[in-house]
Amino acid sequence: MQESATLKMTQISRELKNKGIDIISLSIGEPDFNTPDFVKEAAIEAINNNITKYPPVAGYESLQIAICKKLKEENNLSFDPKQIVVSTGAKHSLMNVILSIVDRGDEVIIPAPYWVSYSEMVEFAEGTPVFVNCSSEQNFKITPQQLKEAITPYTRAFLLNSPSNPTGMLYTKNELKALTDILENYPNITIISDEIYEYINFIGKHESIAQFENIKDRVVVINGVSKGYAMTGWRIGYMAGPLYIAKAVTKLQGQFTSGACSIAQKTAEAALLGSENEKKIISKMTNTFKNRRDLVYSLLDIPGLNTKRPDGAFYFFPDISNFLGKSYHGTIINNSDELAMSLLLNEHVATVGGDAFGAPNCLRLSYATDEQSLKTALKRMRKYFSEII
Ligand code: PMP
Ligand code: GLU
């Protein structure tokens, strides 16, 4: 198994920072905001109320109910609380689902570019990731034709991520519908829909592929509170899907980790059940991300870089192929990982090479940091790229 490229770059930049080097980290995808006060208060209350015993494996029923309410009210999706399993972050939910349904030889279709952990998770389950290359000309999105061509008798699952990490692209309702028109002909395929960036959407309402009647009974929605509520460290994610998958995931989780942290579960429940007024913080954070998106987009106007303007999440994924094979002060930059490392060591800006995302010609930048740091980072990057010949 490969080490997570996102976490690796973050760790290297942390170590350099600890040595006193002025690193600006655009490597990790994590909101820089603090968890909202009303959410933190619920954690203190949970501690004071001694919510400190083993929680049920699949999550407190009150949290499962709160998740169902959220899915109904915000996404118009109907789930029974028994179809919800709460885990230690959406990453854990994804791993649980993949381990539960993928067996040796099963194929999982993954549109590339993809989030670094998908391929490793499928391989860990002894499945075969089937990558479908989605070019920047098609906004990095899989077409129905491509999906159809990738399906074989061994296809067990299709993994979709919208808004996408690393590209920031969103699938429209029509695009999702067109994918379901293909999938409806293959009843053995489970659709795993990673919607963790739901709230970080700059163009409108979130659309879930689980809304379509023709396939909704075999969609597993993955979501959580990490990104939307600035709660990455609390580690609460969940799956909502077919009962047999929820049962399998619960069995697995019962042997591996038991229920997710009791206090964090109560805190996530408070986040989901927050009043309209309390939840205004979400749109405030999204607006801040949008302003930063606009700022970074204008500053990425660096000769030789080709950059798409993302509609969601908090990443840019510029194409750096014009710089590969060229020289930075006498050192040849062969691939995106080398470029990311050279940029870190020479200009002290941490990014992540596109290789681990299945897009070796790209570089991922997270703009979940303050404006001043973004401006400085982009200035350093401009200088760095101007010195590649
Ligand atoms: N899916 C994607 C696409 C992500 O970027 C992340 C971020 N780590 C996750 C899932 C996992 O989120 P969590 O922090 O809740 O485990
Ligand atoms: N999802 C974030 C990222 O892609 C967090 C790190 C991780 O879990 O991979 O940077």
For residue 183, give the CATH number of its domain.
Answer: 3.40.640.10
- Mean pLDDT over residues 169-196, rounded? 98
Looking at the structure, tell me whether residues 103 and 229 fall in a common domain: yes
Distance CA 264, CA 128 (A): 34
Amino acid 125: pLDDT: 98
83 lines ligand 2 (CB under 6 A): no
Looking at the structure, tell me whether residues 213 and 106 fall in a common domain: yes
Amino acid 53: pLDDT: 98
Domain holding 354, by residue range, is 5-30+280-386
Ligand lying closest to the C-alpha of residue 368: 2
Looking at the structure, tell me whether residues 111 and 253 fall in a common domain: yes
Looking at the structure, tell me whether residues 49 and 172 fall in a common domain: yes
Looking at the structure, tell me whether residues 49 and 191 fall in a common domain: yes
Domain boundary among 237, 272, 307: 272
Q: 343, 362 in Cβ contact below 8 A?
A: no
Domain boundary among 218, 246, 272: 272
pLDDT band at 104 (very low <50, low <70, confident <90, very high): very high
pLDDT band at 238 (very low <50, low <70, confident <90, very high): very high
Looking at the structure, tell me whether residues 246 and 309 fall in a common domain: no
Looking at the structure, tell me whether residues 195 and 307 fall in a common domain: no
pLDDT band at 337 (very low <50, low <70, confident <90, very high): very high
Looking at the structure, tell me whether residues 302 and 207 fall in a common domain: no
6 lines ligand 1 (CB under 6 A): no
pLDDT tens digits for 345-368? 999 999 999 999 999 999 999 999
Looking at the structure, tell me whether residues 165 and 137 fall in a common domain: yes
Candidate from 91, 98, 116, 272 with most ligand 1 atoms within 8 A of CB, to mutate: 91
- CB atoms < 10 A from the CB of 374, how many? 19
Atom of ligand 2 nearest to the CA of 28: 10
Domain boundary among 272, 296, 329: 272
Looking at the structure, tell me whether residues 254 and 326 fall in a common domain: no
Q: Which amino acid is at 132?
A: V
Distance CA 378, CA 235 (A): 31
Q: How far is the CA of 385 from the centre of ligand 1 (A)?
A: 30
Token pair 């997270």: residue: 366
Looking at the structure, tell me whether residues 316 and 339 fall in a common domain: yes
Burial level of 283, CB count in 10 A (0-12/13-18/19+)?
Answer: exposed
Q: Which amino acid is at 181?
A: D
Contacting residues for 284 by C-beta, under 8 A, at least 6 apart: none
Q: If you count DSSP H runs as helices and E runs as strands, how many of each does the chain have, helices first?
A: 12, 14
Amino acid 55: pLDDT: 98
Going by alpha carbons, the residue nearest to atom 2 of ligand 2 is: 29
State how many domains the chain has: 2
Distance CA 314, CA 266 (A): 27
Distance CA 231, CA 329 (A): 41
pLDDT band at 382 (very low <50, low <70, confident <90, very high): very high
Amino acid 387: pLDDT: 98
77 lines ligand 2 (CB under 6 A): no
Q: 108, 128 in Cβ contact below 8 A?
A: yes
Looking at the structure, tell me whether residues 260 and 292 fall in a common domain: no
Write out the two tokens for 360.
């070796």
CATH of the domain at 290: 3.90.1150.10
